[in-house]
Amino acid sequence: MIVRPAPIGKGRLAIVAGWGQLPLYLAEAARDAGEDPVVIALADEADRNFEGFETLSAGVGDLAGIERFIREKGVDRVAMSGAVRRRPELHDIRPTFRTLLQVPAVIRTLVSGGDDAVLQMVIKLFEGMGCRVLGAHEIAPGLLARTGPLTTARPAADDLRDIEQAVEAALALGRLDVGQGAVSVGGRVVALEGAEGTDQMLERVVELRREGRISQRRRGVLVKLCKPQQDVRADLPAIGLSTVENAARAGLAGIAVEAGRSLILEEQALVAAADHAGIFVCGIDTGLPKGGL
């Protein structure tokens, strides 16, 4: 998939920033491309320093404050990035007069909807504010994973079997709108990603190894895929240095992510860390035999 940077619009770009490195990376990439981006840093979620960017700190449910900031700054495009680890409570929601009638539907989605349903709702809310919602890959297309190995190490035959098993598990998990990742060891799925996220899932694998519930002989693979029904404008699967570090701690042989629909942060440093740890990182195309490897 060829992705080119999104064209600069008449108005400004807003980066909605959750937890992690991605929001700052996108803000810097947009500025390097000639944009004058602003940042909406979600309170108790965003953990990076956005010094040098016009920034609003707002609660996740502060629709009124966010819309006011968007209108004041002339924003016409929004990119959502970074993890949001806590859903807002009822008392956190501050609607505008225009969105007041949507509050019951918002609450129902927050209470019972999966992550994809919540993201679809947020996209619609931003579109209702007159903004076009962009994916991270439209701002920084160089982050997208490519098909094939990125590291010196390559998947062996046993690893390819683990990739196949974990792909099936991740696709089933994604259809349920639960998570994006799965770990297979020795051809057996041993961990599925839930609300805790990838790093915490890998911590569980470490514990399972320690308890002897996973073979010490067989290494295994982490696979991360986009959910089949997912809107690629939000929450694409992503891996970073912490993913490599935790995969190595979990005794895994490597990591496979969906090519063209997953993000690799700080690729050069990530590949160096993976090579040092002796694990592989690769992009896979689920439509090709053996993922295109």
Domain ranges of the chain: 12-139, 144-292
The answer to whether residue 5 scores a pLDDT higher than 80 is: no
Radius of gyration of the chain (CA): 20
Q: In CATH, what number does 144-292 get?
A: 3.40.140.80
Task: Give the rounded percent of residues in the chain with a pLDDT score beyond 90.
Answer: 61
What integer is the mean pLDDT of 233-260?
94
Q: Give 147's Cβ-side CA count (13 Å radius).
A: 12
The pLDDT of residue 224 is 97
The answer to whether residue 92 scores a pLDDT higher than 90 is: no
Q: Per-residue confidence at 61, pLDDT binned at 50, 70, 90?
A: confident
The answer to whether residue 188 scores a pLDDT higher than 80 is: yes
Three-class SS of residue 145? coil
Residue 208 burial by CB count (10 A; 0-12/13-18/19+): exposed, middle or buried?
Answer: middle
pLDDT digits (tens, 9 = 90+) for 190-205: 999 987 889 999 999 9
The answer to whether residue 68 scores a pLDDT higher than 80 is: yes
- Indicate yes or no: pTM above 0.85: no
Question: Distance between CA 110 and CA 119 in Å, rounded?
Answer: 10
12-139: CATH class:
alpha beta
Reading the block at residue 251, the tokens are 């005794």
Question: Distance between CA 84 and CA 100 in Å, rounded?
Answer: 23
Reading the block at residue 200, the tokens are 């915490």
pLDDT digits (tens, 9 = 90+) for 102-119: 555 655 555 555 566 667
If you write DSSP's letter for every residue of 147-205 in order, what string do you get?
SEE-SSS---HHHHHHHHHHHHHHHHHHHTTS-SEEEEETTEEEEE--TT-HHHHHHHH
The 3-state secondary structure of 104-131 reads HHHHHHHHHCCHHHHHHHHHHHHHHCCC
27 in Cβ contact with 37 (< 8 Å):
yes
Question: Which residue in 274, 252, 156 sits closest to 201, CA to CA?
Answer: 252
Integer CA distances (angstroms), 47 to 19, 30, 85, 135, 198, in order: 6, 19, 12, 21, 18
Top-confidence residue, 290 or 284: 284
Q: Is the dihedral of CA 212, 173, 224, 27 positive or negative?
A: negative
Q: In the block, which residue shows the tokens 């990119």? A: 79
Three-class SS of residue 134? strand
Other CB atoms within 10 A of residue 115 CB: 18
Identical fold for domains 12-139 and 144-292, yes or no, is no
Tell me whether strands 238-239 and 263-264 are parallel, antiparallel or unpaired.
parallel
The answer to whether residue 3 scores a pLDDT higher than 70 is: no
The pLDDT of residue 110 is 53
Reading the block at residue 165, the tokens are 């098993």
Q: Per-residue confidence at 87, pLDDT binned at 50, 70, 90?
A: low
51 in Cβ contact with 28 (< 8 Å):
no
Q: Per-residue confidence at 124, pLDDT binned at 50, 70, 90?
A: confident
